[in-house]
Structure 1
Amino acid sequence: MKRIWEWTGIDTIASREAEREAPGAGQVEIRIRSIGICGTDLHIMSGHAGFGEPPLPLGHELSGVVERLGAGVSGWQIGDRVCIDPLIGCGTCAECRAGNKHRCSAAGEIGLQFPGGWQEYLVVPAANLYRLPDSIGFDEATQAETLHCCLGGIDKLDIRLGQHAVVLGDGPTGLYYVQLLKAAGVSRVTLIGMQDSRLALGRRLGADAAVNLRQAEAGDRLPEAETQDIVIDAAGNEASIQLGIELLKRGGELLLFGLPGERIKVDVQTAVLKELRLLGSTNAPHVWPRVLDMMASGRVQVQPLITQRYRFDQLDQAIAFARDSSGEAVKIIVNNDEPREESR
């Protein structure tokens, strides 16, 4: 048996016991050790995301240990430390065969469309596992999923040494983008958000300037219009996209990463007249090994973003804190350090 937490309805979760699944051919059972609480989880629970249907265990930022191997699995041993790519494609379409499973029309994600890691044990395709270097802990490893999405966005940009960039949004993805832009050689990175504590963290992680939008008129100064080579919108709302269009130089690049959750108006006329490049970015399956290398080398820091930790039996409390913390939380991690005797 195993214990699982399920999204059961609008903003509600419940815990129950369930049978453990045996891994099938090409599959591996993972004992989940750490789970990152993502804003997407909260969005799904609110009923506005359009992903999955309750009852469903959520959780797509995951790390753990190999527990059982299915038939035909090679290259893995019981006890191996891993993180999990949650994206599963059909495996046979042209996009999947080209390595672009994120563009597969039938693709889905563990913790979104498929049962996720809010459970003690999870069966996943062996092809979705990545081995953890010894220097990366389980809690840090959960962030490889978020970081791989961000690095995929960086790869789409035409970054050149000495450029100026703005990151809109001071959540975890915005803080990762600050680090990735500096690692890519951007000369000056400005982080724009609304939480002083997160903006201060952004400065410690490499931002050359940080601006609180709530205080922009009282002291914090936004960059001048048409001064930025690159803008990354990690906020995902109409106002942030409009600000990005205004800040960009003619010929600049706007990476659209945040999800508005609804249709919004975009100033297409200005974007056209300024000859801006607007790029969308989601997953990037090919960058996972690079993400782990960057984490292991310390070129991207994860630990400073982890602000709260909970036990697995406190997952409901972790969700409540994430929803009601008024910006106090940056990244919440739920840990399951030891399996219960009855789950073995």
Structure 2
Amino acid sequence: MNGGFEAMQKQIWEWTGYNAMTTRTTERERSLEKDQVEVRIKSIGICGTDLHIMEGHTGFSQPPLPLGHELAGVVERIGDGVVKWKVGDRVCIDPLIGCGKCQECLVGHKHRCRESGEIGLQFPGGWQEFLVMPSTNLYKLPDSISFAEATQAETIHCCLGGVDKLTIQLGQNVSVIGDGPTGLYYVQLLKAAGAGKVSLIGMREKRLELGIRLGADAMFNLRAHAAPLAAETEDIVIDAAGTESSLRLSIELLKKGGQLLLFGLPGEPILVDIQTVVLKELTLLGSTNAPQVWLRVIEMMASGSVQVKPLITQYYEFNELDKAVEFARNEPDEVVKVIVNHK
């Protein structure tokens, strides 16, 4: 096993209950298993999913647990059998871990593995100084991508996987409902894919204005527009909000034969107007992870096809992670993406 091991302990932040977290010091893993690596975490993105977990709105995570799945860092140690990585490599982290043996894993669909789980959701996440994971969960970063920007490769890869499922023809009208980070990434990816008019629909003026700067052709604030667009004007709608009202609006906006990509996760079961879906012959697509697109995401980030820096609105240090989470939770009109950096 290679790499230094001077510090025997590490600091972690742990989710402990409803909107509660605490910090403590614990032992680092003294040895790595075959094909494992230890990464020194350099940057962490605070995701809306982290906030939903802490509020108890998901059923897939249980405290106490270090959260954090938007991560980038530096390889600190490598286990036996690791040949692709060396100490000091700059990497971003794919948090999804499959069994590696089932049919879905073997064909590259580990997100469909029945035993799969994610770092920061089911497994201990990156709210810590050092994190051990399979060596196959790393992707090399070019020097042109900062650690802070690299944390967003995880989110962008989910969005790109969704775009890949759509049939996009040049010049088509597309609406994105939801002005959070995923909606803003979808705007950029859709323009790169050749969509015509891309409209961003949301409820926060600052985010909508940012969407225009990132390539959206039109923006509509639902607080000001009860009906942002006329019915049956859109060829494609992406619902990145995941609410009953956003789904209803999506179905209303779509032309007959249109495509609806369902991406936002509602906190509970919601009603769907199936009759209209059937009569309009809509295609409904769901999308989560997309393990096959990580390298493309890094290439797009490096080329500037997808911009991350304009979305980063606040920076905190690791010892202020609790303050970062609190700000993200309490100041939604001021936040797009909060990043926590290690020194």
State the TM-score, normalizing by the size of structure 2. Answer: 0.97
Identity %: 69
C-alpha distance after superposition, 1:161-188 (max 9, x if no partner)? 0100000000000000000000000010
TM-superposed CA distance for 1:223, in Å, is 1.7
Q: Which amino acid aligns with 1:17?
A: T
Q: Which amino acid aligns with 2:168?
A: I
Structure 2 counterpart of 1:163 = 172
2:280 maps to 1:271: no
TM-superposed CA distance for 1:259, in Å, is 0.1
TM-superposed CA distance for 1:239, in Å, is 0.3
2:13 maps to 1:5: yes
Q: Which amino acid aligns with 2:186?
A: Y
Distance 1:327 1:175 in 2: 15
C-alpha distance after superposition, 1:282-332 (max 9, x if no partner)? 000000000000000000000000000000000000000011003210000
Alignment of 1:152-301 (within 5 A): 152-217=161-226, 222-301=228-307
Structure 1 counterpart of 2:3 = none
Structure 1 counterpart of 2:139 = 130
Q: Which amino acid aligns with 1:258?
A: G
TM-superposed CA distance for 1:92, in Å, is 0.7
State the TM-score, normalizing by the size of structure 1. Answer: 0.96
**Aligned to 1:162, what secondary structure does the other structure show?**
coil
Unaligned runs of 5+ in 1: 338-344
Q: Which amino acid aligns with 2:20?
A: T
**Aligned to 1:261, what secondary structure does the other structure show?**
coil
Distance 2:287 2:53 in 1: 20
**Aligned to 1:211, what secondary structure does the other structure show?**
strand
Question: How many residues align structurally?
Answer: 334
Structure 2 counterpart of 1:313 = 319
Distance 2:229 2:17 in 1: 43
Runs of 4+ with deviation above 2 angstroms: none
Structure 2 counterpart of 1:97 = 106
Distance 2:160 2:35 in 1: 28
TM-superposed CA distance for 1:224, in Å, is 1.1
Identify the range of structure 1 (43-52 vs 199-208) with the bigger mean alpha-carbon deviation. 43-52
**Aligned to 2:327, what secondary structure does the other structure show?**
helix
Structure 1 counterpart of 2:85 = 76
Distance 2:320 2:176 in 1: 33
**Aligned to 2:144, what secondary structure does the other structure show?**
coil
Distance 2:332 2:118 in 1: 28
Unaligned runs of 5+ in 2: 1-8
**Aligned to 2:223, what secondary structure does the other structure show?**
helix
Distance 1:289 1:223 in 2: 36
Q: Which amino acid aligns with 2:295?
A: P
C-alpha distance after superposition, 1:38-69 (max 9, x if no partner)? 00000111112112211100000000000000
